[in-house]
Structure 1
Amino acid sequence: MSENNPYLEIDQKIVGDVYTTSEIMDNLTILCDEFGSRFGGTVGERQAAKFIKTQLESYGLSNVHLEPIPYEGWRRGEASFEIISPIQKTIPCITLPLSPPADLTATLVDLDEGKPEDFDKRADEIAGKIVLTTSEVNPGDSKRWVHRKEKYGRSILAGASGFIFVNHYPGYGPATGGIGNECAGHIPAISVAYEDGRFLQRLRKKHGSVTVRIRSIDQIESMTSWN
């Protein structure tokens, strides 16, 4: 293979532009400041796609066009998480993307960091309950990455009725991330902050049983995204 680069001059100009112009950051700033989160299927995403198309055309590219992509999308609605027993307390939460709408009351089972083997060992204890587990990706002595979706899936297989995902980083609030692919998840899933997760663990350790209620009005419907 020849070591000569026939496009060296062009490559040098591109690299030079990257380091000497603010255009890239200017575009990113507009995308973030003007169009918000640009979540799939939203007005902000559509506006961002049109902006990128206009920019590419201004750079001299030809045949620039938008391609609609129909898909089953998800919209986050209001959600609430209440401790029913042994005390009454409302805890801030968010639903995880593709969580189905829910009105669920059940007791908690604490899987802590969510080691894969614990879901099998404690299946009888999990059945019918709401699993509480953290976002730690290397639980216990695990020698591999354990993703949120795996913990969610193992909860379902063990018969859980709900899933609570606790951010393992203090001070950052609830963590987010999808729990499905092309359709609604099988059980409702929410996330709470590290501090609230620790409170729930202490409450369960002190009283032995904690009953909670999860309510949400998320929507799953046909949407359009864009290439």
Structure 2
Amino acid sequence: MLANRFLDIERQMLGDIYTSSEPLDNLTVLCDEFGSRFGGTEGERLAAEFMQQKLIDYGLKNVHLEPIEYIGWRRGETTLEIIEPIQKEIPCISLPHSPATNMEALLIDLGNGHPDKFAELGEEIAGKVVMANSEIRPGGIDRWVHRGEKYGRSVLAGAAGFIFINHYPGYGPATGGIGRGGEGLIPGISVSHEDGAYVQRLVKRHGQVKIRVVSSDMCEPMISWNVIGDLPGSQPD
């Protein structure tokens, strides 16, 4: 058996991994002091500067921030209103990369968003706003059905919009991107499990439920940062 000449340092590293609170301490500061650190925000910049200082404290050399230009997304104000058969505003958030919108359309409920449900309803989806929840293995399907697939199937079916319902009670709206390098093709918003269930009950009782969605989201050039540092070796090679 070959001797492991790195055994001592590997033991030290593994010991630190399992006994040090440093990673959690850093994460606590990032969350408590810099908030969500959403792309393009002051919190993101402050978090990058915090990590830069941490790498300096850990003894890395040539520590610096490397700016990255990209097309980011800024969440605006978003409202979801039921306008028929009753009038009621439902709390919601836009899904990242959702385009700005001001639209009215009927709802269509696809439950857990199983692919077979999209196939079953077919042309009925066109021009309507699809509701589908966040369950990742709908109906016991043997693969993961991602939010992006449910959104994409809605787009391909000609939907006017997409409402993503959190399938976990008590956690508010779910979130996650719906665009790649720019705006999504149709507006997408999210509501909580409880609000989603309320709207689904309306659809079940009344058949037709009409909504209005207004949002001011936008994609625009932004700057993010890589935090880079060098860990020099002890030998020339």
**The TM-score by the shorter chain falls in which range?**
over 0.9
Give the alignment of 1:144-159 within 5 angstroms. 144-159=143-158
Question: What is the CA–CA distance in structure 2 between the aligned matches of 1:141 and 1:57, rounded to whole Å?
Answer: 49
Give the alignment of 1:120-139 within 5 angstroms. 120-139=119-138
Give the alignment of 1:1-227 within 5 angstroms. 3-227=2-226
Deviation at 1:214, TM superposition (A): 0.6
The C-alpha deviation readout for 1:164-193, integer Å capped at 9, x for no partner, is: 011111121111111112110011101111
| AA at the equivalent of 1:129 | K
- Deviation above 6 Å: which 4+ runs of structure 1? none
Three-state SS of the structure 2 residue aligned to 1:177 is: coil
The total of aligned residue pairs comes to 226
The C-alpha deviation readout for 1:92-151, integer Å capped at 9, x for no partner, is: 001101001111100001111111122233221000010011111111242211000000
Deviation at 1:199, TM superposition (A): 1.3
| AA at the equivalent of 2:184 | G
Identity among equivalent pairs (%): 61
Identify which range, 13-22 or 97-106, moves more after superposition. 13-22
Q: Which stretches in structure 1 are left out of the alignment for 5+ residues? A: none
Three-state SS of the structure 1 residue aligned to 2:212 is: strand
| AA at the equivalent of 2:177 | G
Question: What is the CA–CA distance in structure 2 between the aligned matches of 1:26 and 1:172, rounded to whole Å?
Answer: 25
The C-alpha deviation readout for 1:42-98, integer Å capped at 9, x for no partner, is: 211111111111111121111222111111001111111000000001110011010
Q: Which stretches in structure 2 are left out of the alignment for 5+ residues? A: 227-237
| AA at the equivalent of 1:30 | V
Deviation at 1:23, TM superposition (A): 2.7
TM-score, length of structure 2 as denominator length: 0.90
When residues 3 and 30 of structure 1 are mapped into structure 2, their CA distance, relative to the original with a 3 A threshold, is: farther
| C-alpha RMSD over aligned residues | 1.4
When residues 166 and 7 of structure 1 are mapped into structure 2, their CA distance, relative to the original with a 3 A threshold, is: same
Question: What is the CA–CA distance in structure 1 between the aligned matches of 2:146 and 2:19, rounded to whole Å?
Answer: 40
